[in-house]
Structure 1
Amino acid sequence: MAQNNTHRAFGRAITPVGTTGRALRNTGGAAVLGTVVIGSALLAGPAQAAPAVSPAAPTISAQTAAPATPAPAHAGSAFGTEKLRWGSQGASVEQLQTALNEHGTSLDVDGKFGKLTHGAVKDFQRSHDLQVDGVVGPETKGALNGGGATASGGGTSAPAPASSSSSSGQAIVDAARSQIGASYSWGTSKPGVSFDCSGLSSFAYAQAGIDLPRTSSQQEAAGTTISKSEAQPGDLVVWPGHLGIYAGGDTVIDAGRTPGAVTERTIWGNPTFVTFR
């Protein structure tokens, strides 16, 4: 019985070539005949074909490489674009102090435009036949930079950024108004308690980030005198021995000896106007 089954199995294994081809493919490309394996390579299917060679990756030429990042454009002229004066602070003042030291002064490079820097600027202006006002504008910057043109020239130069003087001026006025009602006391600057005239202006300007010298005569000398038509809120209104903060229109906020307090009132007489813009 077992021999007959083996004989029948052997008889079925010798099938025509076409049929055997299908059987071989269905069994992974090899047919078993008893214990003999008929060479699988003879009827190997596509799965055993040699893999195609992958194309080589394209070579990137130097012309297709990404261009180098260009260097940033020049950020601006030395000392920034805005005028520098007593009370200015920051990197532009440090550059100014360094430049002044290169012209023979010996300032601390601390970024604070105070009394010593103010005096050094005036000395420099005086020695270079410039307007002696202690304000570092285009002409003074040009002289410090070696005489290069700064204020005028071709129409290709970029315009200076808009000034923030109006917002600073309003901050000064708001700070002064916050002290209305405080009493007058000579030589004091005590918020909510008492002020003298220059103590009030020093306090109000400090709230806008501007340091003023302490006395009224020093403050007048440190700023730039302007006409009333040029005055903006936050500028100083100056009388002999007294000053206040211009609030716009025809009003001033000041710590006056006569009312004995900080008040906002109508401007009187013929004062001068001083700006730190």
Structure 2
Amino acid sequence: AGGGGYSGGGGAVTKPRLPVAIPPQPGTGVKINLPNGQTVEAPNETAAKAVRAAISQLGVPYVWGGTARGVGLDCSGLTMTSYGEAGLEIPRLAQQQTVGAEVPSQDQLLPGDLVVWSGHVAMVVGDGLMIEAGDPVQIGPIRTTNAGQQFIGFYRPTG
């Protein structure tokens, strides 16, 4: 599963120095209903809208360089357009989507957070799952390995 990013794999990528994401106060999140029947809480409305927008693309074919929602998307096209629908512009390329704040560990991930490699990106949906533009757009377990690419880290675009 998974596909290359617009970069075609990429070499070594330097990790940006960003502030650490601040965990939200319990009960302040925005609820999202996942396709598996679980309900999760995103840290804010922007992240919730981005997750809902990404989930709406389940089954869309993988197209390298694709940004056409409902037609064909690549990994960073999925995350960029989903956050765009939520009102937040993020960079186009996977390895440039290390924006907002860094999430220090996998156990602190929240819906809307991004999992970034040197040539691939996925979005956390919650319940231990992430959505990514494989072929097609699909949901699977969160992981830090991806076809030999360098894992860069976890990021919360909304801070």
Q: How does 1:66-215 map to 2 (within 5 A)?
A: 132-133=17-18, 165-215=43-93
TM-superposition CA deviations, 1:156-203 (whole Å, max 9, x none): xxxxxx788422221111100101111001111001100000000011
Asked if 1:264 corresponds to 2:139, the answer is yes
CA contact (8 A) 2:47 2:111 kept: yes
Displacement of 1:223: 3.3
- How far the C-alpha of 1:269 sits from its partner, in A, is 3.9
Instruction: Give the Cα separation in 2 of the matches to 1:200 and 1:194.
Output: 9
Inter-partner Cα distance in structure 2 for 1:253 and 1:196 = 12
User: In the alignment, which of 136, 156, 159 is matched to residue 275 of structure 1?
Assistant: 156
The aligned length equals 116
2:29 and 2:128 map into 1 onto residues whose CA distance is 24
In the alignment, is the contact (CA less than 8 A) between 2:46 and 2:88 conserved in 1? no
Alignment-mate amino acid for residue 138 of structure 2: T
Identity of aligned residues (%): 35
Residue 223 (1) aligns with residue 100 (2): yes
Q: How far apart are the structure 1 equivalents of 2:68 and 2:154?
A: 25
TM superposition score normalised by structure 1: 0.39
- TM-score with structure 2 setting the length: 0.65
Report SS of the residue matched to 2:97: helix
Normalized per residue, which structure has more helix?
Answer: 1
**1:238: Cα distance to partner?**
1.8
Alignment partner, residue 24 of structure 2 = none
Closer, same or farther: CA 132–247 of 1 in aligned 2, 3 Å = closer
Query: Which structure has more strand as a fraction of its residues?
Result: 2
Question: Which structure has the bigger radius of gyration?
Answer: 1
2:123 to 217, 224, 245: 245
- Alpha-carbon distance in structure 2 between the residues aligned to 1:252 and 1:244: 6
Q: Distance in 2 between matches of 1:132 and 1:177?
A: 30
| Equivalent position of 2:13 in the other structure | none
